[in-house]
Amino acid sequence: MEFRNDNLLTFFTLRRSGHHAVMVWLAYHFKLPIFVLNAVTPYTDPYLTLRFYNNWDKESDWLVHIEDIEQIRKIQKQCLMIGIQDFDISRLADGRDVIWERQRTVGESLRVHNILVLRDPFNMLASRWYKPGPVPKLIDDAEILDLWEIYAEEFLGLTNFLKPKIAVNYNLWFLNTDYRKQLSEQLGLAFTDAGLNFVPKSAGSGSSFDKTSYDGKANQMKVLERWKICQHDKRFCAAFRERHKLANLYRKIFPNAPDLESFMQMIGI
């Protein structure tokens, strides 16, 4: 059997979860050619529904730049990354493959991994509010947090919609070198932090708060403190009030953060 992709990594995430940073970090574990299909539509040909491909940084040394999408489809790849965002993974219970006609559209892959990236809900929601570029007329906070709970239950293994999967705690990934080493080991890769501080220029316009100003020093960004700019906002507080299930899931997954714990107690969760 011929394998078009040595490694196929399919990322399931919520927007503004830090997954682009994780994808770049992982990309540096592989040799070229590496290709990224970002924000594809589930149950479709990912090469035809992607939001953008391989243009995070035209000067980057971790992507191969080819303009012809069909040429990218056919080329032999060391690594192909596919990003699926804000998708209700509980729908996968219907048994359909999220990638339409996988063999024809993506091709056979030697190693296949589903990767779920989860960021804490407070910083995730704050980053969605402050995303650069055109702002959606309405962000449905309740819908987003309902979806976060689904992803959190999958992270904890309370559900098993993604088979198999590697669950990535973004907060720990950002903070802890040993945790990143464990993730590399799970994927059978030789550990490197070479891509840790790279900020993709076109991936969602960079950070919601810092744009790309921290490129080369991404580990200095205050990504775990974004919620603080919203902590006195009535709408922000209301979004989490009565969210006892969310609070319980959060406490099981994320490292203790005293300031956030105080905020949660203040709003009664």
pLDDT digits (tens, 9 = 90+) for 170-203: 999 999 999 999 999 999 999 999 988 877 665 4
* pLDDT higher than 80, residue 160: yes
Nearest-angstrom CA–CA distance, 56 and 202: 4
Highest mean pLDDT among 25-34, 38-47, 142-151: 142-151
pLDDT for residue 209: 42
Length of the chain: 269
Condensed to tens digits (0 to 9), the pLDDT of residues 104-125 reads 999 999 999 999 999 999 999 9
Domains with residue ranges and CATH for the chain: 5-266 (3.40.50)
pLDDT in tens, 207-257: 444 444 444 444 546 889 999 999 999 999 999 999 999 999 999 999 899
pTM of the model: 0.90
Tell me the average pLDDT of the chain: 88
- Does the structure show a pLDDT above 50 at 153? yes
